[in-house]
Amino acid sequence: MRCVCVCVVVLVALGVRVNSFKFKELMDYVDKHQEEYVQTLRDWVSIESDSSDVTKRAELQRMMGVVEEKLRMMKGNVDVMDVGTQRLADGSIIPLPKVVTAEFGDDVNKHTVCVYGHVDIQPARREDGWATDPYNLTEIKGNLYGRGASDNKGPVLAWIHAVEAYKALDIELPVNVKFLIEGMEETGSNGLDALVEAQKDKFFSDVDYIIISDCIWKSTRPALTYGTRGNCYFSAQVEGPKQDLHSGVDGGAVIEPMTDLIGILDTLISASGQILIPGVADAVTNFTEEERKLYEQVGFNLETYKSTIGVDRLMYDNKVDLLAHLWRFPTVSIHGIEGAFSSPGTKTVIPAKVTAKFSIRQVPNMEPAVVEKQVTDHLHAVFERRKSPNKLKVNMIIGAKPWIADPKHALYEAGKRAVKRVFHVEPEMIREGGTIPIARTFQDVTEKYIIMLPIGGFDDGLHSQNEKISRYNYIEGTKLFITYLQEVSLIKEN
């Protein structure tokens, strides 16, 4: 009889633990406050926090102040951390926007998660092709249009609202939550690597897991992201005459720098997408059958994708091959040329100096230092064969490593459970073709496990005109984050 009583007590105790998550109350709270959430996002989008434009630096500083104030109003343990200064092209030095951190809960018996996000944005102007004012959040057919709505102000706010819901209902957080919000992600997270290193044994000392929601789904189904590509970003400068020349007078007297530049750029990649730089693809990990099966399960539609990006033809005619080349194979992209005449009209000028910008997305096991040498050696060899009197200078500006996680880790299993509870579907397991350098920094420096948990839609238009987040994703994403905190609390440590 005593044994039965003990079992009953244990079951009751377990039942209390299982049922302590007040799912319905929290979900109802989010639904009742969604207009407030949309208005807060509208307020945040109205701040032109463009980190690439130093003339907007005051607005960026104001944005960081708004984040700090929001977290203080929630009674978090808030701090602002200095990440140093930035030297501008004219030699002047200005302070970088401070990183905002906050802590909610310090129970040593609970897991601690750190949520990372950023509130700086890409440039946006109405005349670039926006249908609405990019800094006035506008709702059209359930979509909330505005610069930063999806990248990354909406997801940051969804996380803040998730914690806020627990506190408003006086429900104990199932895990300790820390926030780390920065304002320079779109320009390379200036100063953040050094901050993470300095805070390894301080802010990050009790962190168990790091969560990043600066990414998007690949289809209409929710997703968990387990990998991103890195990025080696280069400039190649060809310099010739001391000054710009007139083609009608001097065109036959010199080898034009632009001709040399176009000539060497043409040796980077073939028309079929093959990288022509010797050795670059040699270190790429083999595409496994297990990976192929994961890609086959992604609900990615080629026709929808073509329509979304506005093309009639893609380089690959099946889903798996296309996803593989978007996610786990390196690619070369040419982004622009400085010094070239690009304004409307005609102009018969030979520029004296032109600079191309191009990048190579990195994948495991590529090393930026090796790629830098391969690219530099290749371009100089090609240039030498041209026997040009001009001068070539090649620089690698960014050398960001790829990041990849184990999609079978308990952190991802918790994500699957949370997605299924909120959205009633199994999530897709995806990788990201872009680069989020801080993920690899977090992994290498803190040695904590990381998950990327997106709520943005595949058609949100990050970095382009008419960026948006759907009201559905924003609100249901808040519910997902609330539920995910509960699921993480149930992870058993090995």
Under a CB-based contact definition with an 8 Å cutoff, are residues 38 and 47 in contact?
Answer: no
Q: What is the pLDDT of residues 82-104, one digit of tens each?
A: 999 999 888 999 999 999 999 99
Q: Angle between the 471-489 and 410-423 helix axes, to the nearest 10 degrees?
A: 130
Q: Report yes or no: 240 and 256 within 8 Å, Cβ to Cβ.
A: yes
Q: Amino acid identity of 81?
A: M
Give the closest residue to 224 by CA, choosing from 42, 430, 82, 411: 430
Phi, psi for residue 304 in degrees, rounded to 5: -65, -40
Is the pLDDT at 224 greater than 60? The verdict is yes
Under 8 Å CB-to-CB from 152, ≥6 apart: which residues?
A: 117, 118, 119, 185, 213, 214
Check residue 244 and give its pLDDT. 75
CB 410, CB 463: distance < 8 Å: no
**C-alpha to C-alpha distance for 238 and 234, rounded to whole angstroms:** 13
Query: Shortest CA distance to 476 belongs to which of 417, 411, 429, 424?
Result: 424
Question: pLDDT tens-digit profile of 13-26?
Answer: 333 344 479 999 99
For the ranges 36-50, 107-121, 221-235, 297-311, the lowest mean pLDDT is seen at 297-311
Span 284-289, average pLDDT: 92
Joined together, the tokens standing for residue 196 give 């993470």
pLDDT-based confidence at residue 241 (cuts at 50, 70, 90): confident
Give the per-residue SS3 of the chain. Answer: CHHHHHHHHHHHHHHHHHHCCCHHHHHHHHHHCHHHHHHHHHHHHCCCCECCCHHHHHHHHHHHHHHHHHHHHCCCEEEEECCCEEECCCCCEEECCCEEEEEECCCCCCCEEEEEEECCECCCCHHHCCCCCCCCCEEECCEEECCCHHHHHHHHHHHHHHHHHHHHCCCCCCCEEEEEEECCHHHCCCCHHHHHHHCCCCCCCCCCEEEECCCECCCCCCEEEEEECEEEEEEEEEECCCCCEEHHHHCCCCCCHHHHHHHHHCCCECCCCCECCCCCCCCCCCCCHHHHHHHHCCCCCHHHHHHHHCCCCCCCCCHHHHHHHHHCCCCEEEEEEECCCCCCCCCCEECCEEEEEEEEEECCCCCHHHHHHHHHHHHHHHHHHHCCCCEEEEEEEEEECCEECCCCCHHHHHHHHHHHHHHCCCCEEEEECCCCHHHHHHHHHHCCEEEECCCECCCCCCCCCCCEEEHHHHHHHHHHHHHHHHHHHCCCCC
Query: How confident is the model at residue 494, as a pLDDT?
Result: 56
**Which residue in 103, 185, 432, 487 is the catalytic one?**
185
The whole-number pLDDT of residue 310 equals 87
Residue among 48, 50, 120, 487 flagged as catalytic: 120
Question: Closest Cα partner for 102 from 78, 75, 69?
Answer: 78
The answer to whether 426 is a known catalytic residue is no
Phi, psi of 155 (to 5 degrees): -60, -35
Separation CA 171–CA 20 (nearest Å): 9
The residue extents of the domains of the chain are: 23-228+403-490, 231-284+329-400
92 neighbors 128 (Cβ within 8 angstroms):
no
Q: What pLDDT score does 308 carry?
A: 82
Provide the pLDDT confidence category of residue 493 given band limits of 50, 70 and 90.
Answer: confident
Kindly report the pTM of this predicted structure: 0.88
Q: Please check the confidence at residue 6 and state whether its pLDDT lies above 70.
A: no
Assign 363 a pLDDT band (cuts: 50, 70, 90): very high
Q: Which whole number is the average pLDDT over 332-358? A: 90
Output the pLDDT for position 210: 98
Q: Are 411 and 207 in contact (CB under 8 A)?
A: no
Active site residue 282: no
Query: Superfamily assignment of 23-228+403-490 in CATH?
Result: Zn peptidases (3.40.630.10)
C-alpha 274 chain-centroid distance: 26
Domain 231-284+329-400 falls under CATH 3.30.70.360: yes
Say which residues have a Cβ less than 8 Å from residue 118's Cβ, sequence separation at least 6. Answer: 152, 156, 181, 182, 183, 184, 185, 186, 189, 214
